[in-house]
Chain A
Amino acid sequence: MSYAGKILNIDLTSGKVETKPLNVELAKEFIGGIGLGMRLLFDHSKPGTDPFSPENPMIFVTGPLSGTMAPSAGNGYAVVSKSPLTEIVSESKAHGFFGAELKRAGYDAVILTGKSEKLIYVFIDDDSVQLMDAERLKGKPSHETEEAIKEELGDYYIRVMSIGEAGEKLVRVACALNDEFRAIGRTGMGAVMGSKNLKAVAVRGTNDVNVANLEEFKEFIKMIHERMKGPKTRKYRTLGTPENVLVLNALAALPTRNFTQATFEGAEKVSGEYLNERYIKKIIGCATCGMRCDHIAFVPEGPYKGTTARVEFECLWALGPNCGVDHLDAVIEAISQCNYYGMDGISTGVIVSFAMDCYENGILTKKDTEGLDLRFGNPEALVEMVKRIGSRKGWLGNILAEGTMRAAEKIGKGAVKYANHIKGLELPGYDLRGLKTAALGFAVSFRGGCHLRSGAYSPDVKGSVDRFKLEKGRGKIVMDLEDQYNVIDSLILCKFSRGVYYDGLEDMAKYYTLATGIKMTAEKLILAGERINNIARLFNIREGKGTREYDTLPPKIMTVPIPDEGIAKGSYVNQKEFDVGLDDYYEVRGWTKDGVPTVEKLNKLGLNDFAYIVKGKIEKSKKGAK
């Protein structure tokens, strides 16, 4: 049985620690990872809680495969809370080594509430939990914090996840890093830790993690290992995700200069090909994984000589083409600075590009930037701005540290036109004007602008649909992908490995059964995926931000046609087709026109207890329809 069977509750205000048994019925319905985490969030939070208040719980969740030798899944964990960036449900996953350690310590979930008086770190040492002083670690970046904690505790196999200066200063896009460079990246979880005066969580787990059927499990993972050497993981093992730069550029879907153009004339210079040839020194892997994907870059010369960072497409895009910067040295430095301060590289890049757009359009002046020439393409300005955001330095740094949505409101003067976020979460690197299934998928995502809630760019990029159109049928595509991704994120399989499950959900169900001993089928799994999507939607509705008016796209996507000559010229998402897409999606989901799950739907999913959340909303939307 690969569930640990225990949930740890830690109150950082009183220091009280309590262990409770895992409700296995709940685990079966919500799997683990983000599913179980979001379900637990309901039980441990009150409506309208300020994400920075001590009452906002921060929930660490492992998956049923964490701690086993399951390649790519054995090492994962998720963090769930209410996001300070979006003020809706927040979930983020990370791989590396930390998740396995947490499982071995004996926990399916750790629920942190309250706020410590002083900066501390939590040391979970199997059954023992201690709150340790962390004042001397104040302002230190994650990799130094990890080293210092391992030294202090006298064990180099202890695993640590921690925040940097950005998290301590409540920068709303702050992340937490474990194992030096793996991030609980999106939706500002580092800031939630900062609000609790929690510098780090250190874990030592020495317990066995057993699977229900070791012999068959062993055969199954051997097969997955072999598949990981094959074509389905080729991209991640060779050029890595930066391969996307030239692929998206050729499709005129590479957002450039804050979604102004959709192609970048400097693409070759920031391509995966160029990156690998010149900068990548080593490709390494997470615990238990047979794939290896971590492309570690090293800057060999110039002003940023010696800088090293793990480079993936999204951060490279956000801080590169998206800021009009074609100097990879500076992009790698900017990524490294994001790691130093502890910030989501995607959001940070989009915030900088937003500020650059405002500067180019006269909304921000040189006075506002304190002399910084914040034009697109200026590599020094990029790096400097990242540092100012990470440390909340100066008027502009402090405002941008609030995230694009809040910064645009504070700056005023029409800055909202240049703010590229959905529900407050900055967009990743897909130009939604010419990838319209993705546009719908991103708009309805329960955590805001995100490519990993559905991967709905995939049918557009592969050409299985007409990507310049939004029509009936896309709702089903988005829903199916979302539900699958919910399963993946609840088992906490690494998405880079999603292709090796040749039989898709059948494979995943078998995986689950072999590990837990609980009989699982593909049908039950996908139903769990649907249940998870609904529970997330319910949370957002409870917080007053889960209805149709919040499923939006940024102004640029809906009003500024792609200007680049070529296949995508003139494309943008108009209101009419967007409404067709939303209607279609809500219909296949069994939700009202206002995007609210019906009581019948909730009953079908076993979510009867949550009907109270939708009742008032459904009547309201019926009245509205009349």
Chain B
Amino acid sequence: MPATHARKFVSADPNKCVGCAVCEYTCSMVKEKTYNPTKSRIRAVRLNPFANLAVTCRLCEDPPCVAACPRDALTQSEETGIIMVDEDACNGCGWCIEACDYGAIMLHPETKVVYICDLCKDQGKPQCIEWCPEEALDLVTSDLLAQKARRTVVKKLFQESIKTLPG
């Protein structure tokens, strides 16, 4: 399998996410040793009570943030797909923030350089997934998302016949 397709990223299931922001608090706790959602690499969005979703870096193929950086401060790891920030090179201009369609890049309020989800590589696995009380977060590949979508749609199609299956 080509390495690019194996890239895993944190994704929230819109049917499960309740917008509680436990992921934000977890991120600041693990990465910054404090509680402060404004220092989280994942942000929860609640448009209304029915529409909740946590959003973070999706480790895009051919990431526009990397292309946007005039100072070559961002690079994508070939192995994991994680976007790495050279904190000395970054001057906080925000072009990468503008380039990201997901709002997954933020300017750190204190260091004034950008910061991005690194899948908690020091902790072994993303801690927001570990803490999410709804099990709404998962480490997925784009291929797995497609598989899930296919299963859902096929389940829907066979809803009636599944109900009447024996046993």
Closest to A228 in B: B133
Chain A residues, Cβ within 8 Å of B48: 180
Q: How far is the CB of A148 from chain B (nearest CB, A)?
A: 15
Check A286–B20 contact: CB distance below 8 A.
Answer: yes
Chain A residues, Cβ within 8 Å of B20: 284-290, 292
Check A214–B33 contact: CB distance below 8 A.
Answer: yes
- State whether the Cβ of A234 lies closer than 8 Å to any Cβ in chain B: no
Q: Give the distance in Å from the alpha carbon of A121 to the alpha carbon of B81 in the complex.
A: 46
Chain B residues, Cβ within 8 Å of A452: none
Chain B residues, Cβ within 8 Å of A292: 18, 20, 133-134
Q: How far is the CB of A396 from chain B (nearest CB, A)?
A: 33
Check A310–B49 contact: CB distance below 8 A.
Answer: yes
Closest to B36 in A: A208
Chain A residues, Cβ within 8 Å of B35: 67-69, 74, 208-211
Chain B residues, Cβ within 8 Å of A207: 36
Q: How far is the CB of B74 from chain A (nearest CB, A)?
A: 24
Point out the residue from B46, B50, B131 that lies within 8 Å of A281, measured CB to CB: B50
Stretch at the interface among B4-12, B21-29, B65-73, B146-154: B21-29
- State whether the Cβ of B109 lies closer than 8 Å to any Cβ in chain A: yes
Check A308–B21 contact: CB distance below 8 A.
Answer: no
Count A interface residues, CB 8 Å. 39
Chain B residues, Cβ within 8 Å of A283: 18
Count B interface residues, CB 8 Å. 26
Point out the residue from B18, B21, B36, B50 that lies within 8 Å of A97, measured CB to CB: B21
Chain A 195-234 interface mask (CB, 8 Å, partner B; 1/0): 0000000000011111100100010001001001100000
Point out the residue from A208, A218, A287, A308 that lies within 8 Å of B49, measured CB to CB: A308
Chain B residues, Cβ within 8 Å of A69: 22, 25-26, 29, 35
Closest to A101 in B: B37
- State whether the Cβ of B38 lies closer than 8 Å to any Cβ in chain A: yes
- State whether the Cβ of B91 lies closer than 8 Å to any Cβ in chain A: no
Q: Give the distance in Å from the alpha carbon of A181 to the alpha carbon of B37 in the complex.
A: 22
Check B29–A284 contact: CB distance below 8 A.
Answer: no
- Give residues in A with beta carbon < 8 Å to B: 67-69, 71, 74, 97, 104, 157, 180-181, 206-211, 214, 218, 222, 225, 228-229, 281-292, 294, 296, 298, 308, 310
Chain B residues, Cβ within 8 Å of A308: 49-50
Q: Give the distance in Å from the alpha carbon of A266 to the alpha carbon of B42 in the complex.
A: 47
Q: How far is the CB of A516 from chain B (nearest CB, A)?
A: 14
Q: How far is the CB of A304 from chain B (nearest CB, A)?
A: 17
Point out the residue from A157, A225, A284 that lies within 8 Å of B52, measured CB to CB: A284
- State whether the Cβ of B126 lies closer than 8 Å to any Cβ in chain A: no
Q: How far is the CB of A505 from chain B (nearest CB, A)?
A: 24
Point out the residue from A209, A222, A288 that lies within 8 Å of B21, measured CB to CB: A288
Chain A residues, Cβ within 8 Å of B26: 69
26 examples of A-B residue contacts, CB within 8 angstroms? A68-B35, A71-B133, A74-B25, A74-B35, A97-B21, A104-B36, A157-B37, A206-B38, A208-B28, A208-B34, A210-B34, A214-B29, A282-B18, A282-B49, A284-B18, A284-B20, A284-B46, A284-B52, A285-B18, A285-B133, A287-B25, A288-B21, A288-B25, A290-B22, A292-B134, A296-B49
- 5 closest cross-chain pairs (CB), A and B: A290-B133, A208-B34, A285-B20, A69-B25, A284-B18
Chain B residues, Cβ within 8 Å of A284: 18-20, 46, 49, 52
Q: Give the distance in Å from the alpha carbon of A285 to the alpha carbon of B34 in the complex.
A: 22
Q: Give the distance in Å from the alpha carbon of A180 to the alpha carbon of B52 in the complex.
A: 14
Chain B residues, Cβ within 8 Å of A225: 131, 133
Q: Give the distance in Å from the alpha carbon of A74 to the alpha carbon of B29 in the complex.
A: 13
Chain A residues, Cβ within 8 Å of B39: 208
Closest to B28 in A: A208
Chain B 117-160 interface mask (CB, 8 Å, partner A; 1/0): 00000000000000101100000000000000000000000000
Closest to A286 in B: B20
